[in-house]
Amino acid sequence: MASIRKVEYYSMKVPQRPGAGAALLAAMKAAGVNLRAFHGFPAGGGAQVDFMPDNGARFRGAARKLKLKVSARKIAFLVQGEDRVGALTGVLGKLAAARINLVAMTAVAAGGGRYGMIFWVRKAQVARAARLLKAR
């Protein structure tokens, strides 16, 4: 059975150049911030990075000290479970049947027989998706 939870995340725009993400991760490490996930992609001539900290207060404090211009707190979903053929179909099928559209999704086999998935829905559908999936 998969574990599904709501996670907070914060996004920011960065230049799309070698080392930009590595510098951010090094700064978070130095500040003692543990990240559940870090997601980056091209956006508007630069890049957007999403931080998913395991401790939002610690992340926000570090971001302030580093003078990072991060977004307000937003919500995504983190799914973790035992890897198997079709592991994502249960969650995605429930969302589809409820007509909840994904904004974005990333999934990966994590090794050791485990997988993880992060997905985003529109802000207006977060509470509905959480109830449907019994996300904590």
Dump the DSSP string for 73-125.
Answer: PEEEEEEEEE--TTTTHHHHHHHHHTTPPEEEEEEEEEETTEEEEEEEE-GGG
CA angle 16, 105, 60 (to 5 degrees): 60
Q: Evaluate whether residue 53 is within a structural domain.
A: yes
Is pTM, for the whole model, over 0.95?
Answer: no
By mean pLDDT, which of 44-48, 79-83, 119-123 is the weakest? 44-48
Model confidence at 136, in pLDDT bands (50, 70, 90)?
confident
Q: Which domain holds residue 52?
A: 8-74
Q: What is the pLDDT of residue 63?
A: 96
**Are 58 and 87 members of one domain?**
no
Question: How many domains is the chain partitioned into structurally?
Answer: 2
Sort residue 6 into left (φ over 0), alpha (ψ -120 to 50) or beta: beta
Question: Among residues 25, 52, 74, which one ends one of the domains?
Answer: 74
Token pair 């509470």 is found at 127
Q: If you average pLDDT over residues 5-25, what whole number do you get? A: 93
Percent of the chain with pLDDT over 90: 90
Model confidence at 1, in pLDDT bands (50, 70, 90)?
confident
